[in-house]
Structure 1
């Protein structure tokens, strides 16, 4: 049984267009989510590791994308009901953008998946400064 995970991270930017590029384009996603990302229509291919040596490749289908709002994907190898989503929103109080992550994990994978998202966001902060 999959359990829904909802996480929120504050970014250090007031630029919505920069955040949208980071979460919706291969160039942006490659900076923080995977070693390489390619998109062909509604199919996104994510590669971790060296493509010429040992690597891991997974494809996902873009289920929904609303510009400057969110992108929702479903791993092609996962259940039809599960998805992962990156939603951006602006905080009126701080003036910065936030990312809201929704994902699904089996009970025994919950902590590991939260740790992976925390590491991805840390990589995003380090590489892009946002």
Structure 2
């Protein structure tokens, strides 16, 4: 049984359009989430590793995309209904944008999943300065 994992990260930006580009476009997602990434209609293809050597390729269906709000994916290789979602929202208090990540993992994989997202967000901070 998969467990729902919800994580929140503050970004150092007040630009909603910049955040939306980072979570909804291949150029944006390649900066912090995958080594390469393409979107063809409603299928996103993610590549990790060197495409000319050892690498992993995974495809996900884009289940829902609401502009300036969220993108929800479902791994095509997954047989269950679990999804992963990246949602952006603006904090009225700090004025910055936040990312709210929803993902699913088996009980013994939750810590690894959280570490993976923490590393991805750290990469986003380093590469974009957000």
Would you say same fold, with TM above 0.5?
yes
| Partner in structure 1 of residue 2 of structure 2 | 2
Q: Give aligned pairs, total.
A: 130
Query: Could you list the runs of 4 or more consecutive aligned residues of structure 1 that deviate by over 2 angstroms after TM superposition?
Result: none
Structure 1 residues 21-100: aligned runs within 5 Å = 21-100=21-100
Please give the alpha-carbon distance, in whole angstroms, between the structure 1 residues aligned to 2:54 and 2:125.
27
1:55-85, Cα deviation, whole Å (9 max, x unpaired): 0000000000000000000000113410000
Inter-partner Cα distance in structure 2 for 1:114 and 1:78: 19
Give TM-score scaled by structure 1 length: 0.99
Q: Distance in 2 between matches of 1:63 and 1:34?
A: 19
**Cα deviation 1:76-109 (Å, max 9, x = unaligned):** 0113410000000000000000000000000111
**Which runs of no fewer than 5 residues in structure 2 stay unpaired?**
none
- Aligned-residue Cα RMSD (Å) equals 0.5
Q: SS at 2:14's partner residue? A: coil
Q: Partners in 2 of 1:111 and 1:40 — Cα distance?
A: 32
